[in-house]
Structure 1
Amino acid sequence: MEKVVFGDKETFLTNLAKSVGHKRPKASEATGADNEESGDETQGAEKKRKAAWEDSDDEDIEVGDVKKETRHTGPLTHLRKDKSYKAYLTSRFERTTKQPKWASLDKKAEQAGSDSEDEELLRTVGFIDYKAKARDLQPKNLNFKRVRDLNRATYSEGIVTSIQFHPTSTAALVSGANGIATIYTVDGQKNEKLHNMNFKKFPLFCTRLTPDGTKAFFGSKNRFYYAYDLLEAKETKRKLPDSIKTMHMFELSPCGKYIASAGHFGALHLIDANTNELLHTFKQEGTVCGMCFTADSERLFVSGASCNINVMSVRQQRIEHSFIDEGCVNSRVVQLAPNQRLLATGSKEGVVNVYNYESIFKSKTPQPEKCFMNLRTGIANLEFNHTSELLAMSSRQVPNAVKLAHFPSATVYSNFPGQQENVGFVNTLSFSPNSGFLALGGKAKVPLFRVKHFKHY
């Protein structure tokens, strides 16, 4: 627009020559001879690719048009004011930072960049065998550091039963048997208290945050539960449907629409999270001990007191598939990895089996990909991190009974938690959204570990 209204430098000089009756040669004619002479010299050299876009106004701007003397800069005697401002910026940038590969017009540099992109693509494709590099999580030793306890500001929750990291904010919700739930900041240093909720005569056995982090559900062994709006700081008491006696153990679907609550005598109740309506009740043999949803909220894996793992279809409202957990007598907990490729099961005997997700539906007696026997007592918790590279397993029957396994090598870290670290009895555990922190819930304290391989919260 500026060029149309005012004209550029070349147009101004041409019009000025016409006003005095002279004809000014064009820049292309004046430089034509020079281009013919230099053409032979560049004929044998490798030609660079042309830029996709060029701004002619950049060539007209000089240093003197931009750089002005002020009381802060003083006299600009060290600058050539007739020099191109574009060339000045280019030379200044190259002195401090080398030219990146993406900005080079050389074909060789472009080819190298495309190779690195292909390599990154191959690394993320699951069915291609890719060798681990230095930037990947190493399988032998875990680089971690224990920081200050997550609930160090109060220690008022009592026996910690649930730890929920907020999906978008650097905060965590810790609840316990004293009926107190507290929101803490997560920085590993101060871990200050932001807000607390006190439920009288209502010991908190299970707490879950919605996927968007706006609400929290609190369950106990009463015939009602609480829905808490974190934005408005308002609690709502909800009465359970008549056929449901308690809500001491439940899971929230990834879509946020369903609540799966364990009932008595093998019953599993599916409740609408918005309307509190009972949608369906599944029946299985043995008491429900553990459950988890798939990422699309279409299936529900349930482990009972027997050796069977049932796959329940939410849409069809029936048991879709059932298989026997290898080497299990009494099943306790089941967990699905975020990449939907690995399924981990834990038993009362302390055995943790890891199955390939696709092989589960092909047989009623699938063989596990890996079997961990590092813990001697019943498994209480299983948790994958967000990249499915770490599997945390723990037992609450003996102190310091917690282990971390690495995938895809399927090896257990020998240096975690370490002989010097005393974490006590672990009732629950949880990874932060980007696996930067691992929290372990004990009788009163919540030990917090910083996993240094993951840079973000």
Structure 2
Amino acid sequence: MKKKQQQSSKEIPAKGNSGKKMTKKKTKGVKQKRNKDKGRSLLSNKFILDTRGSKRSKFQKQLRRKKMSNSTRTNVLGYDKLMEQERKLAKDLFGEDAELLHSVPQEAQTRDLPAASTDSTISTEEQQMIPDDPFDVHQPDTKDARKPAWVDEDDDNIRVKDICASMTKARGKRGIREVSNVKYELKLQEKFSQVFGSTPEWADLNNKLTGDSDDDDEMTRTTGNYLSAESSGKLPKTSLEYKKLHDLNHTSRSEGAVLKAVEFNPRFQVGLVAGFSNNSFGAATLFQVDGSLNHKIQSIKFPKFTIKCAKFLQDGKKFVVGSNLYGHFFVYDMEAAKEMRIPCSKTEERSSMKNFIVSPDGELLVFVGTKGLLYVFDATTLSLIDTFHSPEEVKAAAFNESGSKMYTHGIGGDVFVWDMTSRACVHRFYDDGCIDGTSIAVSPSNQFLACGSSSGIVNIYDVANISSKAPRPVKILDKLVTPVTSLAFNPSSEILAMASDYVDNAMKLIHFPSMTHFNNFPGGQYPLRRVQVLNFSPKGGFLAAGNNNGAAPLYRLKHFSSY
């Protein structure tokens, strides 16, 4: 019994000692709890997000060491370093408004500044001009460094983590990762270089303008990969730098199944797409040419009028549509939103309005009729002023750059040269090896004449050497094996586009003056179907085609200016 009492007395300690032990344990637990609360408050004050579950104890030790180092610092300007850190964090969170909440203590401003620098380059007057600001560091400029014209202060408040907060790939499965602002900036610069090429001249601080250069001209120059033909030099051979854009009519597709006209306005950045479907109606649609959206402007229906050809007039305010079913054509006024029916002749056949050309000076309209007839209209009065008679059936016609001469090609393989001033045929020669001519085109430089035939051969002639009756072509292009139905030079005479509507994807681009084809165009990723028509924009920056699937593929040729 005594042993049991002794054991029980050991288990129940004395009243005085037990109180001390209990209070020690209790105070120890309270201190630990307080330390935990302090650690949490420090974490919240530091704006640190533990999104990956990092080791908290190790982090708390680092905070304690930092706090110990802060407690032993020297108060040079009368305020502690921790306050300055909190001030910077508040500025990152609240922006410039935080400066009103965390102003510098007055005693910091009234204290004596450190001794002035002994550098002899700073004069006494300059030292007096230095403001009484403890945060400014005034040092003499050793060289005249070029500075940005302006700096957006809000950019400093942007955090990469905030930008990536709305991106699923950037968040990942474990939360948002902190990314260095410097790395993010370098990544953006790299992406810019991939898209737009090297740094533009106007953005290069080290770029020096010549004495004859002008700042206004410098800002209006096209930069990056989208260079003008004049500034980018010669067009490279064999490989063409281009980009497939949205179809010109991708917002409409109401022009019919077969597109017979794709035109670019000579004055405005507007495109025209026209076609027909099942001989029941024809339609023409105007689009804004921007390469991305290509907004639809207006669509015009022509009931029971199958459009086989459509072109803008040179004033850019009207366009003409023709058909193979009627002996009349329509002129549509875009400003008045009104169409005009223009008859050709009551006695002529109906199939005389399906093909026509507009002179470069905008004065004449020439319709290719049947039996070798060519109808010449005044583009201003829209009246028939003359009719040419060709001894052979005409299939295609083209003007030279000035509009003074017209070339026709057709059945029999002969090419006729017409003087538009005297309105007479002044020369005739045989297209080498041609049975039937199907297309013809003259380069804007008036140097080359391209003649397409039913065998798929395109002969290139030097205009200066076609005075004989059987001139020799300077180049024979055999890239197509079916009749060449479309030929077009670009405005700089550096590219010849040719196509055939007999087979799918029969479209080639030829480089000039080397007369070699671009082997990377059109590529097999985007099928062209059967190309019915093709055309270049006024400055050669865009190339468009129309096929038998109701689509008008649009390409951006990066060597040339935008439109």
TM-score of the pair, normalised by structure 2: 0.58
> How far is the alpha carbon of 1:356 from its aligned partner?
0.6
- Structure 2: state its 5+ residue gaps: 1-135, 150-203, 214-228
Q: In structure 2, what residue type is equivalent to 1:343? A: L
Q: In structure 2, what residue type is equivalent to 1:192? A: H
Match of 2:335 in 1: 231
CA distance in 2, matches of 1:98, 1:231: 46
Please state whether the residue corresponding to 2:531 is helix, strand or coil. Answer: coil
Q: After alignment, is 176-185 or 275-284 more displaced?
A: 275-284
CA distance in 2, matches of 1:374, 1:394: 10
1:166 to 233, 250, 265: 265
Match of 2:295 in 1: 192
1:148 to 246, 249, 255: 246
Match of 2:118 in 1: none
Q: Tell me if structure 1 keeps the 8 A contact 2:146–2:205.
A: no
1:137 to 217, 221, 235: 235
> How far is the alpha carbon of 1:273 from its aligned partner?
2.1
CA distance in 1, matches of 2:390, 2:547: 32
Q: After alignment, is 376-385 or 310-319 more displaced?
A: 310-319
> How far is the alpha carbon of 1:278 from its aligned partner?
2.4
Per-residue CA distance 1:310-365 (angstroms, 9 max, x = gap): 0111221211100000111111111101111111010000000111111112x111
| Count of aligned pairs between the two proteins | 349
For residues 286-435 of structure 1, the aligned pairs below 5 Å read 286-361=392-467, 363-435=468-540
Q: In structure 2, what residue type is equivalent to 1:350? A: G
Q: In structure 2, what residue type is equivalent to 1:422? A: P
CA distance in 2, matches of 1:77, 1:227: 74
Please state whether the residue corresponding to 1:179 is helix, strand or coil. Answer: strand
| Alignment pair present for 1:252 and 2:358 | yes
Please state whether the residue corresponding to 1:205 is helix, strand or coil. Answer: strand
Please state whether the residue corresponding to 1:154 is helix, strand or coil. Answer: coil
CA distance in 1, matches of 2:384, 2:474: 37
Q: Tell me if structure 1 keeps the 8 A contact 2:320–2:331.
A: yes
Q: Tell me if structure 2 keeps the 8 A contact 1:285–1:306.
A: no
Please state whether the residue corresponding to 1:199 is helix, strand or coil. Answer: strand
Match of 2:130 in 1: none
For residues 18-57 of structure 1, the aligned pairs below 5 Å read none
CA distance in 2, matches of 1:217, 1:77: 72
CA distance in 2, matches of 1:276, 1:169: 22
> In the superposition, relative to structure 1, how do residues 79 and 339 fare at CA in structure 2: closer, same or farther (>3 Å)?
farther
TM-score of the pair, normalised by structure 1: 0.71
> In the superposition, relative to structure 1, how do residues 276 and 211 fare at CA in structure 2: closer, same or farther (>3 Å)?
closer
Please state whether the residue corresponding to 2:465 is helix, strand or coil. Answer: helix
> Identity rate of aligned residues, in percent?
34
Q: In structure 1, what residue type is equivalent to 2:383? A: E
CA distance in 2, matches of 1:437, 1:274: 29
> In the superposition, relative to structure 1, how do residues 224 and 412 fare at CA in structure 2: closer, same or farther (>3 Å)?
same
- Structure 1: state its 5+ residue gaps: 1-75, 81-87, 105-122, 125-132
Per-residue CA distance 1:151-210 (angstroms, 9 max, x = gap): 111111111000111112222000001411001111222111011111111111111101
Per-residue CA distance 1:204-243 (angstroms, 9 max, x = gap): 1111101121111111121221111112211111122335
| Alignment pair present for 1:201 and 2:309 | no
> In the superposition, relative to structure 1, how do residues 220 and 100 fare at CA in structure 2: closer, same or farther (>3 Å)?
same
Per-residue CA distance 1:375-418 (angstroms, 9 max, x = gap): 00000000000100000000000000000000011101111111
Q: In structure 2, what residue type is equivalent to 1:145? A: K
> In the superposition, relative to structure 1, how do residues 329 and 201 fare at CA in structure 2: closer, same or farther (>3 Å)?
same
> How far is the alpha carbon of 1:99 from its aligned partner?
4.0
Q: Tell me if structure 2 keeps the 8 A contact 1:240–1:276.
A: no
CA distance in 1, matches of 2:283, 2:139: 67
> How far is the alpha carbon of 1:421 from its aligned partner?
2.7
CA distance in 1, matches of 2:232, 2:252: 40
Please state whether the residue corresponding to 1:358 is helix, strand or coil. Answer: helix
CA distance in 2, matches of 1:172, 1:227: 16
Q: Tell me if structure 2 keeps the 8 A contact 1:241–1:277.
A: no
Q: Tell me if structure 1 keeps the 8 A contact 2:232–2:559.
A: no
Please state whether the residue corresponding to 1:225 is helix, strand or coil. Answer: strand
CA distance in 1, matches of 2:317, 2:138: 58
